[in-house]
Chain A
Amino acid sequence: MTAEALYEILSKYAESQGIRLNRDRDFVMDILRGLLTNEKRYGYRSCPCRLAAAAGEKEKDKDIICPCVYRDPDIKEYGSCFCGLYVSVEWNEGKIEHRQVPERRPKEKRVM
């Protein structure tokens, strides 16, 4: 799949969830290329902003397969997911501050 095709799919998916893709399309395309690279590399779309398990062990990366389990609480608290792929409507409209989203994934789950 191309990043452009994925953009179309995820854009519709985001809207169906009441959220949006980041309005910065270039930034989003970069994230989507990272997602597709990870899909080729590991066999699943693990978060491109986090280090996946060394051997691409799906079970260990389950929580960071996009959309990660941290997306919704991050959007609720910051208006954006950790990567800045999914955002709230208000975030896209500039109605809430664009902050750096801290890592919510528990330390014991991260590749350290």
Chain B
Amino acid sequence: MAPAQRIKLFTLSTCSHCNKTKKFFRENGIDMEFVDVDLLTGSERERVMDEVRKLNPDCSFPTICIDEHNILVGFNEEKLKKALNIA
């Protein structure tokens, strides 16, 4: 069995595309961690935005990081399934 992929989502708590993305992972039983950037303030928000900027220079949401190198931007179910090897 292949080792689990490490998935991190950068999201906005108010964003419906972000909510769809979180729901996709939950419904497919895939572990992930997410951070709602709009709920952060001050230096914590700056630190996380630095991270987002490196992964996705457009700084748009959701930014999905799979195994630290595979970056998807926005919610696209087909692309997500492909990246996660889901039939």
Q: Which residues of A are at the interface with B, using a C-beta cutoff of 8 A?
A: 27, 30-31, 33-35, 37-38, 48-52, 54, 83-84, 100, 103, 107, 110-112
> Could you tell me the distance in whole angstroms from the C-beta of B49 to the nearest C-beta in chain A?
7
Interface residue count on the B side (C-beta < 8 Å): 23
Using Cβ atoms and an 8 Å threshold, which residues of chain B touch A51? 12, 37-38, 59, 61
Task: Assess whether B16 is in contact with A112, with CB atoms less than 8 Å apart.
Answer: no
A112 touches B14 (CB 8 A): no
The answer to whether the Cβ of B15 comes within 8 Å of any Cβ in the partner chain is yes
B16 touches A103 (CB 8 A): no
Contact A103 B60 (CB under 8 A): yes
Complex alpha-carbon distance, A89 and B15, angstroms: 23
A112 touches B49 (CB 8 A): yes
Q: Known contacts A49-B61, A100-B76; decide if A83 and B16 are in contact (CB<8 Å).
A: yes
- Known contacts A51-B38, A103-B58; A84 and B49 CB within 8 A of each other: no
The yes or no answer to B28 lying at the interface (CB within 8 A) is: no
Within the complex, the shortest CB–CB distance from A21 to chain B, in Å, comes to 13
CB distance B12 to A49 under 8 Å?
A: yes
11 additional A-B pairs beyond A30-B16, A48-B14, A83-B17, beta carbons within 8 Å, are A33-B14, A34-B13, A35-B14, A37-B13, A37-B14, A49-B15, A51-B61, A84-B16, A107-B58, A110-B58, A111-B59
Whether the Cβ atoms of A34 and B15 lie closer than 8 Å is yes
Contacts of B41 in A (CB 8 A): 54
